[in-house]
Amino acid sequence: MTKTKRVVLSEKELESFRDTGYLVYDQLLRPERFEALKEHFERKLSALPPDERPEDMDVPHFTDPELFRWLLDEDVLDLVESILGPDIAVFSSHFFCKPAREGKSVPWHQDAYYWRETIQPATEAITVWLAIDPSVRENGCMHVIPGSHQVNASRYRDVTDPRSVFDEELDPGQVDTSKAVPVELRPNQASVHVGGLIHGSEANLSPLRRCGFTMRYIPTSVRFNHEELGHKHQIYLARGVDRAGNVYADPTKSYPEVIKNRGKGQSYLGTRKPPKSDTGR
């Protein structure tokens, strides 16, 4: 049995993460585990029904428990633990795969805005964005606005661009694009960003596919709205103990009814209540 390597971010790296709202991490998975994830993804992509977009492979873990091999990978959880502390839940996952030449864009947004009715406080969620393909400017890598999680931005509008993955975006007056930084990643490099960080990505018009696997986590002190949304979403205890009276699903089980209840495509969970102050930041 191979010994787990313990990933601990230095105090300097954590300080920079707290200031900027994101970081880049090298070689997240052991090479054989990364290869296994890639192969698993390629199989899923080949089996995708023709009327489903590869950018919209959201919450695949609800019907594919094998994905917990990576969502609960010890090295990934060590990285997450060094940011969130010892009590961690898997909140969500998503393959954002932009096909070559016709890949969709992701509008400027803060994840916490979309999740405001699902978890509270949503700003405490983090996303580990693991590059499956090279992710560079040319093929629509993610861009972030460093430090934007610390400023108040909560005005959104409907998206009209049919090539957009999401249907709501930050009002352009709230995004200082002159400060945007491209997050270019090699396969098996990952970025981590906080729920309040402003980020987005352009359409992929290049000949190179761009796929990332997002693994999303919360400290278990964050409250999941199981009462209202448990039929459309589930969370999973990953490490430590519950701190908020949450209900957790079983990672060995498949939950096809959850997918069915969400409906097709990028469905917002909840009733689109206006953001509370803690989610709009």
Ligand X SMILES: O=C(O)CCC(=O)C(=O)O
Binding site for ligand X (CB under 6 A): 96, 106, 111, 127, 129, 142, 199, 201, 212, 214
Instruction: Find the shortest distance in angstroms from Cβ 148 to ligand X.
Output: 13
Instruction: Find the shortest distance in angstroms from Cβ 156 to ligand X.
Output: 14
Q: Using N-to-C axis directions, what is the helix angle for 11-20 and 74-84, rounded to 10°? A: 70
* Residue showing tokens 């093929």: 139
Q: Among residues 58, 197, 71, 31, which one has the least CA distance to residue 126?
A: 197
Instruction: Find the shortest distance in angstroms from Cβ 12 to ligand X.
Output: 25
> Which CB, 86 or 90, lies closer to ligand X?
90
Residue with nearest beta carbon to ligand X: 201
Instruction: Find the shortest distance in angstroms from Cβ 201 to ligand X.
Output: 3
> Which CB, 199 or 209, lies closer to ligand X?
199
> Which CB, 116 or 199, lies closer to ligand X?
199
- The residue type of 146 is P
> Which CB, 11 or 204, lies closer to ligand X?
204
Instruction: Find the shortest distance in angstroms from Cβ 127 to ligand X.
Output: 5
Instruction: Find the shortest distance in angstroms from Cβ 143 to ligand X.
Output: 8
> Which CB, 87 or 111, lies closer to ligand X?
111
> Which CB, 192 or 249, lies closer to ligand X?
192
